[in-house]
Structure 1
Amino acid sequence: MSAATDVLAHLPAQAPGPVCVALSGGLDSSVLLHALAALPDYRARGLRALHVHHGLHADADAWQAHCTAFCAALDIALEVRHVRVDIDSGLGLEGAARTARRAAFAASLQAGEWLALAHHRDDQAETFLLRALRGSGPEGLAAMHSQRVFAAGQLWRPLLSVPRAALLAHGQAHALRWIEDPANTDLHHDRNFLRHQLLPLLRQRWPHADAAFAASAALSGQASALLGLREEAWLAAHATDGPLALEALRREPPAQRARLLRRWVGQFDAPPLPAQGVAAIEAQVLPAADGARFAWHGVEIRRWRDHLHLLPPESPWPADWSVAWDGHAPLALPDGGQLALHGAEGFEAPLRVCARRGGERLRLPGRAHSHPLKHLLQDAAIPPWQRFALPLLWDDQTLLAAGDTLLSADLSAWLRARGAHLTWQPPRV
């Protein structure tokens, strides 16, 4: 079998679902789209392409035009998404462009669609080496996964076992034209240094170095998956409602605690826990009193009542925020939370919703007198960071509810008579 046909040999003849190819216009993505377009089942399932226009290079418009012509020649639909790269994000130009690109991918991907990326075996070897140089563990050394859930569908890398030489042979055999991005030769970028300087030197001594690195990445992925099964079961038992139980965490050895902390954070849409974060939590949070915390990239882990809580960035309510709410539709709150009435069409008259200001009193069911809301919140074990983020529900000058658990006698009776209830959803990470 020739190198030119190796690419098709590595692609399943039957499409896994509707496939969208991320098309940069470079060799790799052009070959992937060309090869998939040659397989009838992919066309029948709605094969299409997506090009992200970053606007960072003087030739960006020309690259878009090239992709448009390439897809037209293949009779493949092309979607172009223009993105704004936040160069002040602190991620660096490459990182910011990658973030913008992935957001465009997620926004474009349709339910059940597979986003096909053209990463190949050489890319996998480079990623493995970069992760190793950063001191990564099994998860990092697993490098890129061939398939995983992404946005509304799946992210798919069908060429991870294919060397770049096979892609080049395919492109040349079919007289394809592709874009050569000058940024790919800039040796200031770590990946380019590995690609153009280090890996060619390694291949002189070990011709199969790329395959060996890719195999090590696969073995790391298997080890990570086995460890992950135990950790997922542990978290299902000890972090069932979000917060992480400290007593159970302390019973684990330090290395396992570090893995559990990272996997717990990874369950949320939060920035990965940095390496120094684990050490800081061990030294400053686990042995401390309630209120101890560790913050990074706008989120934080806070200790309270023998649990660790992962909190989103603080988003204080405007001091004078107040709205009338009739209960017919959920109410969006200023911090990203939500208040909703279920089981009833709405209140008999609009009620006022506002934030806490201090000094409020509430009369609970079964009590003859009202009590300071401050004390009721403490008794109800409402976490301190939520106490001034609770939506308060008022009828004229009478406080009817604080969130969805502390309800006045009058509101509680009104809801019970209708089989209705309130729900308050705080902002999530």
Structure 2
Amino acid sequence: MRSTLPTFNEVWQRQLRTRVLKQLQDFPAETKFLIGCSGGIDSMLLLHLMFFLCPEKITAIYVDHQLQAVSASWGEFVAAECKKLNIPCIVQTVTVASGNLEQQARHSRYAAYAQHLKDHEILVLAHHQQDQAETLMLRLLSGAGVDGLAAMKAIDIREDFTIWRPLLDVSREQICQWADDLNISHIEDPTNLDTHYDRAWARQQLWPLLTERFPKMQMALSRTAELMRDAQHILADVLSEDLKQCGDDKQLNLDKLSELSLARQRQLLSAWMKGQDQYRPSLDMVERLQREVIQAKPDAKTELHYKDFYYVRYQRQLFRLHRSEYVFDPNQYVGTTPIEIHPDLPLTLPSGEFCIAQAEYGLSPDLFHQTLHIQFRAGGEKVHLHGRVGTWPLKKAIQEAQIFPWQRHTIQILSKDNVILGVFTPNGFWLAQSAYCVADGWLPLRSS
């Protein structure tokens, strides 16, 4: 069954249909589309447009946030309209976390979309020109930078899925006119009139005031978002080169960073802290990183915690460490444990994974399958490392090896009958000189 959309006389309707069809043809042939459908006039028009253009490639999804008593009936409405067109429809109920209601509802909605998106399937949303202008305005009022003011993209390729917004440069007035021409049924969400919500406030109170003074404001704001996306691409190129010069996604050389202008330093730190998140940190957080960590006294032990990461300075390097790398429970890294080493089995230890390899000089094969002991260092240990003269404090060897302070708790000592055989470290295994050392022996080699 194919939709029987009437012939459109209006030029913009024909142009839109042609443009959307061309965009469809630009996607790979196997691409299918999951249409986010709230039941509102925007998403219902999008549903009919996509049905007219590619009925065999679409599925609809309604996300019930359970925030209103009638939300379940809206899902039934969307499902019924889809059934009339023979469009598969998913109704997904979600629970919205406490906090900023608009933000948490959006997170729940996108999580539901991600749950149902299949391979080679793109999420299609009905955001239009007024949505774009509202997004830019609200982000401007929140103090957003270039990335925020770039607002929404028509084709938004994210890490886990891609979003397509084919109506992004279409005005709401045009959408309403087209839906009325087609007699498309839809629902009206009363929260769109509730000025308690920022977007509804902007739409109901701010928009009429600004539009009266600036009739082309909506188009101008959308154009600004487009220009900000150009600036965003240019800035991304600059940031890519600056990151190559200063380090990588895990650490930055502070001497190299200081060679950049202050503006480029701040932009690089902001993008670096963002990592794989969707949004950058606030300007205040970037300035805290500069003030509390980078510019702190050389002998100060400094750190900054932001989301799941810790930012730590060590020997003119700035590190971005996930909490799993940095935060540890000291009670888990104490005591002595019996261990047997097999030549064909890897060793998975807190300091890394090790495999057993033959060595010109190493530990005796007689130690295989014997009960050895491994223990975390407690402090004050002395060891005679192979290749060094005499016994040295283990602490001094660790310092000379420049093992990061946040990794030192993973270091373990291997022994046999209270004789130190070697030390497992994040930098590898250090062989200790002992009666168990032989020619043509074996050594643990760090493989990760």
Q: Which TM bucket (shorter chain)?
A: 0.7 to 0.9
Deviation at 1:218, TM superposition (A): 0.7
Change (3 A) 1:305 1:73: farther
Deviation at 1:349, TM superposition (A): 6.2
Deviation at 1:118, TM superposition (A): 1.4
CA distance in 1, matches of 2:375, 2:104: 36
Which of 21, 26, 45 pairs up with 1:12? 21
CA distance in 1, matches of 2:198, 2:345: 55
Deviation at 1:352, TM superposition (A): 9.9
Q: Secondary structure at the residue paired with 1:35?
A: helix
Relative to the length of structure 1, the TM-score reads 0.80
**Alignment match, 1:230:** 238
Deviation at 1:180, TM superposition (A): 2.0
Q: Secondary structure at the residue paired with 1:118?
A: coil
Deviation at 1:222, TM superposition (A): 0.8
Contact 2:129-2:169 within 8 A present in 1 as well: yes
Query: What is the root-mean-square deviation in Å for CA atoms of aligned residues?
Result: 3.8
Larger Cα Rg: Structure 1 or Structure 2? Answer: 2
1:373-384 equivalences under 5 Å are 373-384=394-405
Deviations 1:390-425 (A, max 9, x none): 375868776766355231439xx99x999995444x
Contact 1:119-1:159 within 8 A present in 2 as well: yes
Contact 1:362-1:399 within 8 A present in 2 as well: no
Change (3 A) 1:375 1:133: same
**Alignment match, 2:44:** 30
Which of 113, 128, 138 pairs up with 2:121? 113
Which of 120, 136, 147 pairs up with 2:144? 136
1:409 matches 2:443:
no
CA distance in 2, matches of 1:373, 1:270: 44
CA distance in 2, matches of 1:124, 1:252: 34
**Alignment match, 1:61:** 72
Change (3 A) 1:287 1:182: same
CA distance in 2, matches of 1:129, 1:406: 54
Deviations 1:199-235 (A, max 9, x none): 1222223222100110011111112211221111111
Contact 2:129-2:171 within 8 A present in 1 as well: yes
CA distance in 1, matches of 2:352, 2:393: 23
Q: Secondary structure at the residue paired with 2:135?
A: helix
Change (3 A) 1:267 1:182: same
**Alignment match, 1:427:** none
Deviation at 1:166, TM superposition (A): 2.1
Change (3 A) 1:419 1:400: closer
Counting matched residue pairs gives 408
Q: Which of 148-157 and 128-137 deviates more?
A: 148-157
CA distance in 1, matches of 2:226, 2:279: 25
CA distance in 2, matches of 1:254, 1:21: 44
CA distance in 2, matches of 1:74, 1:328: 60
Gaps of 5+ in 2: 1-8, 358-367
Contact 1:317-1:355 within 8 A present in 2 as well: no
Contact 1:47-1:76 within 8 A present in 2 as well: yes
CA distance in 1, matches of 2:392, 2:322: 30
Contact 2:377-2:411 within 8 A present in 1 as well: no
Q: Secondary structure at the residue paired with 2:320?
A: strand
Contact 2:39-2:77 within 8 A present in 1 as well: yes
Which of 176, 183, 188 pairs up with 2:191? 183
Q: Which amino acid aligns with 2:150?
A: A
Contact 2:428-2:446 within 8 A present in 1 as well: no
Q: Which of 122-131 and 19-28 deviates more?
A: 19-28
Deviation at 1:385, TM superposition (A): 2.1
Q: Which of 275-284 and 318-327 deviates more?
A: 318-327
Contact 1:343-1:418 within 8 A present in 2 as well: yes
1:154-165 equivalences under 5 Å are 154-165=162-173
Change (3 A) 1:363 1:419: closer
Change (3 A) 1:286 1:31: same
1:143-158 equivalences under 5 Å are 143-158=151-166
Deviation at 1:243, TM superposition (A): 0.3
CA distance in 2, matches of 1:352, 1:29: 67
Q: Which amino acid aligns with 2:221?
A: F
CA distance in 1, matches of 2:347, 2:71: 43
Contact 1:54-1:97 within 8 A present in 2 as well: yes
CA distance in 1, matches of 2:76, 2:372: 55
Change (3 A) 1:406 1:328: closer
Deviations 1:56-94 (A, max 9, x none): 32223223222322322222223343333221xxx4111
Contact 1:7-1:170 within 8 A present in 2 as well: no
Q: Secondary structure at the residue paired with 1:263?
A: helix
Q: Secondary structure at the residue paired with 1:311?
A: strand
**Alignment match, 1:358:** 378
Relative to the length of structure 2, the TM-score reads 0.77
Deviation at 1:367, TM superposition (A): 5.2
Q: Secondary structure at the residue paired with 1:169?
A: helix
Gaps of 5+ in 1: 425-429
Contact 1:363-1:408 within 8 A present in 2 as well: no
Q: Which of 49-58 and 155-164 deviates more?
A: 49-58
Deviation at 1:249, TM superposition (A): 1.4
Q: Which amino acid aligns with 1:30?
A: M
Identity rate of aligned residues, in percent?
29
Q: Secondary structure at the residue paired with 1:20?
A: strand
Q: Secondary structure at the residue paired with 1:79?
A: strand
Q: Which amino acid aligns with 2:38?
A: S
Contact 1:10-1:162 within 8 A present in 2 as well: no
Q: Which of 355-364 and 269-278 deviates more?
A: 355-364
CA distance in 1, matches of 2:77, 2:286: 47
1:301 matches 2:308:
no
CA distance in 2, matches of 1:323, 1:75: 66
**Alignment match, 2:109:** 101
Q: Which amino acid aligns with 1:77?
A: P
Q: Which amino acid aligns with 1:381?
A: Q
